[in-house]
């Protein structure tokens, strides 16, 4: 039977309500807002340096995208590296791409160091060609990545792909074998325990309602009382709200959805390559998750899944859930400091490895006082054209229609 719930949550005990009983301290060195990969990874690093650190999470730890995602631990950025070179030049592009490789290494290292049982492995990731000319583009990409980034990606022909993933619909693929995969809920749970082990105090149900700078200090009003902090780091991703209005205006929250089937037979799992269930996701609706967008997405995703894998026609979909992505107006991830408040935002669905990495490296930059030198701070963080955006994405229905139109004419 189909339920609107997150399959990953059935595989671990998420850090939960027990956090609510810890009273908030009056003063801390660093208040981290948001209890996902960004916040937890940053908090762990800051606490290891001896700082007194709290994580303030509006819901429960790991509640956001960090326990809802597809677990793909990816190299590269949301934007193609060709576009990054065109916009920012070779030097910046090379630094950013290197960060993406380091981010996958970092996840692997943290998983090993902290003994996190989340099934991390370097499975690689595939980009599939849904049209013949996509495959031609992949051929250029192999040479481009080798020449510009000394990075090997490999073509997979249509026939090879069929025997690899059991689907006939694609015209081939590009594989990057450096990428990995993991169970996101188990990973965020492990990261939370690792942060606690380093001395971080995690506070669930502690939504920050307002944040005010007075001199060099910050005064935070949370739903569990006030707090003073020497520094603040924001890692609120697609859930960025009113308390950090300036940042909210630069983030477009977009829904992303996943279905999980019942357990597959051994033969089917072998033919299609998943472990035991097919996890199938996409941006089936533009608006963030609610009962309606989730229900609609379940239908759309099931239909798309059967187009790709007709073998799953009689397999039940048991779980459907959604989460919110944080797009920026230039589709890039941004880190920096705004009015003394540090942030790392804008992963746009590419944040499992990157949020872990940027959480840690932004924390290091806070300690060293050199955030401006961070590669992801070396370009502007744009707001909406003409300032026509206050955090409510009124233009999404039009954007949705526009993209459907583009898909149709492409």
Ligand X SMILES: Cc1cc2nc3c(=O)[nH]c(=O)nc-3n(C[C@H](O)[C@H](O)[C@H](O)COP(=O)(O)OP(=O)(O)OC[C@H]3O[C@@H](n4cnc5c(N)ncnc54)[C@H](O)[C@@H]3O)c2cc1C
Q: Which residues bind ligand X (CB under 6 A)?
A: 33-39, 56-59, 63-66, 68-72, 74, 207-208, 235-239, 241, 243, 256, 258, 281, 323-325, 347, 349-352, 355
Q: Which is nearer to ligand X, 190 or 351 (CB)?
A: 351
Q: Which is nearer to ligand X, 146 or 377 (CB)?
A: 377
Q: What is the DSSP string of 305-324?
A: HHHH-GGGTTSPEEEEEEEE
The answer to whether 42 touches 233, Cβ cutoff 8 Å, is: yes
Residue of minimal CB distance from ligand X?
A: 351
Please state the closest distance from residue 301 (CB atom) to ligand X, in A: 11
Pairwise CA distance, residues 92 & 373, whole Å: 12
Nearer to ligand X, 58 or 85 (CB): 58
Min. distance of Cβ 314 from ligand X in angstroms? 26
**Least distance to ligand X from the beta carbon of 268, Å?**
22
Quote the CA–CA distance of 390 and 26 in Å, as a whole number: 32
Tell me how far, at minimum, the Cβ of 139 lies from ligand X, in Å: 25
CB of 159 to ligand X, least distance (A): 27
Taking the least distance from each CB to ligand X, the nearer of 250 and 350 is 350
Between 39 and 172, CB nearer to ligand X: 39
CB of 365 to ligand X, least distance (A): 16
DSSP notation for 26-58? SEEEEEEE--SHHHHHHHHHHHHTT--EEEE-S
CA distance 257 to 74: 18
Q: 271 - beta bridge partners?
A: none
| Residue 123: partners with Cβ closer than 8 Å, 6 or more residues away | 179, 180, 181
Q: Contact at 8 Å (CB) between 37 and 356?
A: yes
Q: Compute the least distance from the CB of residue 367 to ligand X, in Å.
A: 20
Nearer to ligand X among residue 166 and residue 288 (C-beta): 288
Q: Which is nearer to ligand X, 91 or 321 (CB)?
A: 321
CA triplet 203, 352, 160: central angle to 5 degrees?
Answer: 155
| Nearest-angstrom CA–CA distance, 204 and 136 | 49
Distance CA 207, CA 57 (A): 6
């Amino acid at each position: 039977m189909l339920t609107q719930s997150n399959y990953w949550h059935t595989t671990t005990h998420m850090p939960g309500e027990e956090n609510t009983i810890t009273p908030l301290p009056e003063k801390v060195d660093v208040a981290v807002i948001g209890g996902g990969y960004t916040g937890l990874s940053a908090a762990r690093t800051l606490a290891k340096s001896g700082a007194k650190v709290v994580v303030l999470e509006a819901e429960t730890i790991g509640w956001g995208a960090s326990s809802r995602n597809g677990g793909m631990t990816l190299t590269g950025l949301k934007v193609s590296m060709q576009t990054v070179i065109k916009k920012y030049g070779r030097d910046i592009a090379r630094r950013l791409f290197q960060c993406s490789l380091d981010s996958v290494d970092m996840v692997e290292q943290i998983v090993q160091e902290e003994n996190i049982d989340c099934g991390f492995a370097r499975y690689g990731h595939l980009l599939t060609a849904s049209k013949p000319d996509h495959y031609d583009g992949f051929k250029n990409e192999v040479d481009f990545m080798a020449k510009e980034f000394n990075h090997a990606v490999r073509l997979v022909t249509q026939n090879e792909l069929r025997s690899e993933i059991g689907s006939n619909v694609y015209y081939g693929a590009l594989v990057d074998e450096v990428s990995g995969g993991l169970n996101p809920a188990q990973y965020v749970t492990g990261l939370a325990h690792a942060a606690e082990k380093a001395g971080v105090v995690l506070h669930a149900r502690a939504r920050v309602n307002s944040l005010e700078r007075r001199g060099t200090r910050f005064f935070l009003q949370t739903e569990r009382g006030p707090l003073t902090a020497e520094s603040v780091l924001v890692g609120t991703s697609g859930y960025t709200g009113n308390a950090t209005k300036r940042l909210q205006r630069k983030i477009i929250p977009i829904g992303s959805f996943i279905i999980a089937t019942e357990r597959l037979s051994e033969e089917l799992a072998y033919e299609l390559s998943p472990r035991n269930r097919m996890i199938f996701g996409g941006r089936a609706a533009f608006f963030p998750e609610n009962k309606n967008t989730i229900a609609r997405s379940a239908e759309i995703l099931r239909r798309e899944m059967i187009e790709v894998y007709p073998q799953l026609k009689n397999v039940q979909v048991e779980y459907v859930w959604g989460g919110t992505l944080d797009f920026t107006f230039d589709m890039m991830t941004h880190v920096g400091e705004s009015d003394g408040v540090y942030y790392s935002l804008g992963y746009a669905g590419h944040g499992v490895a990157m949020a872990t990495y940027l959480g840690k490296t932004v924390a290091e930059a806070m300690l060293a006082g050199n955030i401006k030198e961070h590669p992801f701070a070396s370009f502007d963080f744009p707001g909406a054209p003409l300032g026509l955006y206050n955090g409510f994405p009124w233009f999404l229905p039009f954007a949705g229609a526009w993209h459907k139109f583009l898909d149709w004419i492409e």
